[in-house]
Amino acid sequence: MAQLNITLTQEEILLLMSQDREGAFKKLLQESLNQIMQAESTEQLTLHSELLSKNYELY
């Protein structure tokens, strides 16, 4: 199972402690998942680019 470390800003902490906890949690979860997907996308694109450049070197 993957482990995630999340850093919260003061604003995010205050939102989670406010009356609209559900909305704040949804926003936090959405932002976290978006960051994870962006990092995975960047990693895949980098690997793809490296593979392409190695294939060009073979020719």
Q: Which sequence spans correspond to the domains of the chain?
A: 21-58
- What does each C-alpha distance from 32 to 39, 47, 51 come to in angstroms? 11, 23, 29
Q: Is the pLDDT of residue 55 over 80?
A: no
Q: Is the pLDDT of residue 57 over 70?
A: no
Please give the sequence-ordered ranges of beta strands (E in DSSP) within the chain, or none if there are none: none
| Number of neighbours of residue 53 by Cβ within 10 angstroms | 9
Task: For 5-54, write each residue's pLDDT tens digit.
Answer: 778 889 888 877 887 778 888 888 898 888 889 888 998 899 888 888 87
Instruction: Report yes or no: 12 and 28 within 8 Å, Cβ to Cβ.
Output: yes
- Give the pTM: 0.60
Task: For 25-35, write each residue's pLDDT tens digit.
Answer: 888 889 888 88
